[in-house]
Amino acid sequence: MQGLAASFRIVLVVFLLSMAGAAAANGRKRVVSSSSDEPCTKMTLYLHDILYNGVNNSQNATAAPATRPTALGTTYFSNNTFFGMLVVFNDMVTEGKELPAGNEKPAALAQGFYFYDKKETYAAWFSFSLVFNSAAHKGTLNVMGADPMDEDTRDFTVVGGTGDFFMARGIVTIRTDLVQGSFYFRLQMDIKLYECYV
């Protein structure tokens, strides 16, 4: 009898959790892609990171180191990999490659951080939200992943979202599109969502 009661409790918990998930979807239909070639949503955007150079770009900077690199990354290894440095950013994200001109609004903002996590080579780990507030999209996509910068392409994971991207799951494939010195880089982000609520 106790085994039956325990089984009933498990079934009841699973049922309540599934009902809570359905209620949380706010009447939206869950769409899960059946093929990696056919995401339910895809878009290409460009992230512009303008790192504060400590001298004269404070007006334009969208990213700043929150910590210094460790002595291990700057003195022991001669390649100055910035190992241990944490950077906080609020970067503009555009549909085209150019930065917005004048009062033109970006497609989104990327708000989060990255830190350099390798001693021997340039590599970072990112965690950020793409914050959309335009006529096309409203809401967020939450993204994280490793960025081994020597690779041509790198994949970040979309771990969730809000608004138009409610509970989204997918992949962001990034490519370094442009690097200017040590203080500006542009990433091409190919976003493919494989779980969407519409």
pLDDT in tens, 91-129: 999 999 999 888 889 999 999 999 989 888 889 999 999
Range with top average pLDDT, 14-18, 51-55, 134-138, 191-195:
191-195
Whole-number pLDDT of residue 16 = 44
What average pLDDT does the segment 11-37 reach?
65
pLDDT in tens, 39-65: 999 999 999 999 998 776 778 899 999
Q: What is the mean pLDDT of the chain?
A: 86
Phi, psi of 171 (to 5 degrees): -130, 140
Q: How far apart are CA 91 and CA 110, in angstroms?
A: 5
Whole-number pLDDT of residue 144 = 98
Percent of the chain residues topping a pLDDT of 70: 82
Structural domain boundaries in the chain: 28-197
| 182 pLDDT higher than 90 | no
Whether pTM > 0.85 for this model: the answer is no
CATH superfamily of the domain spanning 28-197: Allene oxide cyclase-like (2.40.480.10)
